[in-house]
Chains A and B, each alone.
Chain A
Amino acid sequence: MSSKPKLYYFDGRGKMESIRWLLAAAGVEFEEEFLETRDQYEKLLQGRSLLFQQVPMVEIDGMRMVQTRAILSYIAAKYNLYGKDLKERALIDMYVGGTDDLMGFILVFPFLSAEDKEKQHAVIVQKATSRYFPVYEKVLKDHGQDFLVGNNFSWADVHLLEAILMVEEKKSDVLSGFPKLQAFKARISSIPTIKKFLEPGSQRKPVPDDKYVETVRRVLHMYYDVKAN
């Protein structure tokens, strides 16, 4: 195993994108192996590399880690992006839980039928503007600090920026009622590691397209329409 973490996933966002964001934000270089064929996936399965037969899988520090949340928690703790004590960790976990739920609506989006896509678009915007963004807007307003938790850059900030940018891809002016989040977005985007990740040529993946959906369906034999939440 090389000393750099190695990510096994499709050549696209999906559940791996949050992991790419966090590693990049922490300034950690990583390698990627892209699943393109069913054969590659079956080979991984036969090699017993996938604990629950699923990707994402990340080879890191001698472990073959699976389960997105477990991987993210490990990276956050290892690179000091998880707060200074149990209570700060609790806050970060709560905030990340919220942005995770919000991004969950976007994650399934490419796999929905055309009719469900239209409905889901409205759901995404509604949840973002009435359930999730107001919470983070208030957190930032109440303490007046640059970062969500403990006046220190953490996983929660990275995850929120990722969520904001993803929702903006669906509705470009979605932050119009949220001045603190606008300032937050500008501030976090200009952190050197994140700025680099946002530039062309980085390992950030583009908005999922038909080719991506086709690849996932082919590799996982997932030929049914996913139901909207």
Chain B
Amino acid sequence: MSGKPRLTYLNGRGRMESIRWLLAAAGVEFEEVYLETKEQYDKLIKDGFLLFQQVPLVEIDGMKMVQTRAIMSYIAGKYNLYGKDLKERALIDMYVEGISDLMQMILVFPFSPPDAKEKNIESIKERATNRYFPVFEKVLKQHGQDFLVGNKFSWADVQLTEAILAVEEKVPAVLSGFPQLQVFKTKMSNMPTIKKFLQPGSPRKPPPDAHYVETVLKIFK
């Protein structure tokens, strides 16, 4: 195994995208292997790479890690993006889990039938603006700091930035009622590692298209 983490997933966002964001934000270079056929996937299972027969898979520090949350917790812990103590970790976990619930709606969106798409965008908009964004707007307003937890850059900031951009792709003016989040988005986007990740040519993947959906259905049917 080379020194760099190696990511195995489809050539698209899905559940691996948050991991790409976190590694990039931490300034960690990584390699990627793209699943394109069912045969590749079956071989991975046969060769014992996938603990629960699922991807994402991240080979890191001699481990074959699966389970998105486990992988991200490990990366956050390793690269000091998990707060300074148990209580800060608890806050980060709460924020990340909440954002993850919002991201779940976006994750499944490409797989919904065409006649449900408009309704689903409305649901995403409703949840973002009534349940999730107000929480983080308030957190930032109350402590007046640049970062969500402990006045220090953490996993929670990365996850929220990713979520804001993902929702904006569906609902462009979604931040219009959230001035703190607008400032937050700008600040995070200008952090050197994140800025680099947001530039063309980075490992960041584009929004899922028909080809991506087709590949998922073909490999995991």
A interface residue numbers (CB < 8 A to B): 51-53, 61, 63, 65-70, 73-74, 77-78, 86-87, 89-90, 93-94, 96-98, 101, 131-132, 135
A52 touches B132 (CB 8 A): yes
Q: Which residue of B lies closest to A90 (CB)?
A: B74
Selected A-B contacts with CB under 8 Å, 25 pairs: A52-B98, A52-B132, A65-B94, A67-B94, A68-B97, A69-B69, A69-B93, A70-B90, A70-B97, A77-B89, A78-B86, A86-B78, A89-B73, A90-B63, A90-B73, A90-B74, A93-B67, A93-B69, A93-B70, A97-B66, A97-B68, A98-B52, A101-B52, A131-B52, A135-B52
- Is B51 an interface residue when CB atoms closer than 8 A count as contact? yes
B73 touches A93 (CB 8 A): yes
A97 touches B131 (CB 8 A): no
Considering only residues 19-71 of chain B, those with a C-beta below 8 Å from chain A are 51-53, 61, 63, 65-70
A73 touches B78 (CB 8 A): no
Q: Which residue of A lies closest to B82 (CB)?
A: A86
User: What DSSP secondary structure best describes chain A's contact surface?
Assistant: helix
Q: How far is the CA of A98 from the CA of B53 in the complex (A)?
A: 11
- Is B122 an interface residue when CB atoms closer than 8 A count as contact? no
Query: Which residues of chain B are within 8 angstroms of A51 by Cβ–Cβ distance?
Result: 94, 98, 135
User: What DSSP secondary structure best describes chain B's contact surface?
Assistant: helix
Q: What's the minimum C-beta distance from A80 to chain B, rounded to whole angstroms?
A: 12
B interface residue numbers (CB < 8 A to A): 51-53, 61, 63, 65-70, 73-74, 77-78, 86-87, 89-90, 93-94, 96-98, 101, 131-132, 135
Q: What's the minimum C-beta distance from A140 to chain B, rounded to whole angstroms?
A: 14
Query: Which residues of chain A are within 8 angstroms of B70 by Cβ–Cβ distance?
Result: 90, 93-94, 96-97
* Beyond A70-B94, A90-B63, 19 additional pairs, beta carbon < 8 A: A51-B94, A51-B135, A52-B132, A61-B87, A67-B94, A67-B98, A69-B93, A69-B97, A70-B97, A73-B73, A73-B93, A74-B89, A86-B77, A87-B61, A89-B73, A89-B74, A93-B74, A131-B53, A135-B51
